[in-house]
Structure 1
């Protein structure tokens, strides 16, 4: 077993496994036995973001497994930007699923960047994944242009800051985040949580940095305890932020890789859970009804939007997410 950070709080421990899939080794937290439910986290998190789901899903008769995405936590951290293209991340998910459950299709659950990872895994490997659930980020189909073009037209060209433009530079974003990891995580987590008042994610000019104008709430919302924060801080102090931020530097590669799948739909049973205060759920204001957006692309999707919930869906609202997820799993 691979030991977690010494900052781990007192709670029942999952089983940690290192899975060698060839070019990288990935750490996976596992609880329970039965059909595989593979959980994929987003930025800036780790397997730990599924701490409230692993036990309940495992006790419901499933093998609940949460990976550290490459670049994070106990998993390998290749340096090249191209190593974090969606093609490689989808391959990682498929390889881990094949090791943990080689003879039966798995169920996928993803949040934040993990949502596009599981949507695209279900799209590209329908024979390997029999159902897919995504939190926060709806499926909008194979893109018609790289997302860099979209956000530059909407933000950068108008002199407005957009965090993914900031992440395109190699070096300064990592340095800002790593200068004081605890400060970075507190401000970033709070700014797009359901507890943050309007304006906490500030409007600012292009050329600003991510932390410019962002605030620390002092007393953090109860959904992230001091022990939870300590675990995340320990993970990112050890790993740094280059791998996690490299994910944002692959929009052109992702666009090119996905083009052969433009006419394909996600036909598997699907679940979507978003937050009423989550900017990702509305694709930064571009859609008013994420479930209606998905229906032509994911015809078997059922969706729920949790009012007042921010971006950190399964951490902010674990009881509601677990109820919806377990009900859906029971009906597959």
Structure 2
């Protein structure tokens, strides 16, 4: 496994890479990095695949144009992934995404099935474009309807939480990882909804500790990366959600036709606000070959349950050419 920079048509992407064979691209979410996939890079490379996990736009060691909020839309993130495949000298890849990386992966398969021959999503199912309007007003309405404060996604549209994250990246990361982890007591686990009058940081106990799978050395890598880059660009992904809706009208009603796989942790907080799409996933991913709930896990699926995730991915990949 090596870390290096790939110069692409859109960005200079820092990646971790291992193996040779058919290409698999692993896309991380928030607040993650390419290192979130180390267990999968090893396992898939050992099984005969060329595996590449990039730091995504605005994260870690990846640099290039696009500092403005509007430079972080889904079409641009798909374009970054297309450009990465091309810069690696490949014409096709299987794309796998976790958390925010899952919508990127789903849309890679939706928009460029000629390049992305199969797709797997972790934690976040494919969510088709709504005909009724953009997502942020709908999320505000959902929070009002259930009377649980406000979704963190809506909070991230403003600067207040970003300022707190930037002021203490170690505390912010520790609280995020702890509150979305399956080993955290259910009463302390996040729901995605933040009580009125509190910030995300204030809504999570100061007693938060690192999850069992997060060693001090690994955590130090996350802290160093986010201390250097800050949280502005990662949060800009959230701030482009309504812009995504505006720019992707041409995708209304389009379905994913390549082989697809989905897995989610039983206790993943994301299921509180995106779980309903798990039931309809097969309607939109017409070649869905697995829809798995991993018992006892929560959000950081590939790090909480690496052996199970690796087995599901390897079985899926092995079946593509059968």
Normalised TM-score (structure 1): 0.89
Q: 1:285 to 1:254 in 2, by over 3 A?
A: closer
Structural mapping, 1:84-233, within 5 Å? 84-102=72-90, 104-144=91-131, 145-155=133-143, 160-170=149-159, 172-200=160-188, 201=190, 204-217=194-207, 219-233=209-223
- Where does residue 240 of structure 1 map in the other structure? 230
**Cα shift at 1:22:** 3.4
Deviates more, 1:263-272 or 1:30-39: 263-272
**Cα shift at 1:267:** 0.8
Task: Give the root-mean-square deviation of aligned CA atoms.
Answer: 1.8
For structure 1, the residue ranges without an aligned partner over 5 or more in a row are: 1-13
**Cα shift at 1:100:** 1.5
Quote the Cα distance in structure 1 between the aligned partners of 2:70 and 2:84.
20
Q: 2:249 aligns with which of 256, 259, 265?
A: 259
Q: 1:124 to 1:195 in 2, by over 3 A?
A: same
8 Å contact kept, 1:30–1:54: yes
Secondary structure of residue in 2 paired with 1:107: strand
For structure 2, the residue ranges without an aligned partner over 5 or more in a row are: none
- Where does residue 43 of structure 1 map in the other structure? 30
8 Å contact kept, 1:178–1:240: yes
- Structure in which a larger fraction of residues adopt strand: 2
Quote the Cα distance in structure 2 between the aligned partners of 1:177 and 1:240.
8
**Cα shift at 1:275:** 0.6
- Structure in which a larger fraction of residues adopt helix: 2
Deviates more, 1:196-205 or 1:63-72: 196-205
**Cα shift at 1:204:** 4.5
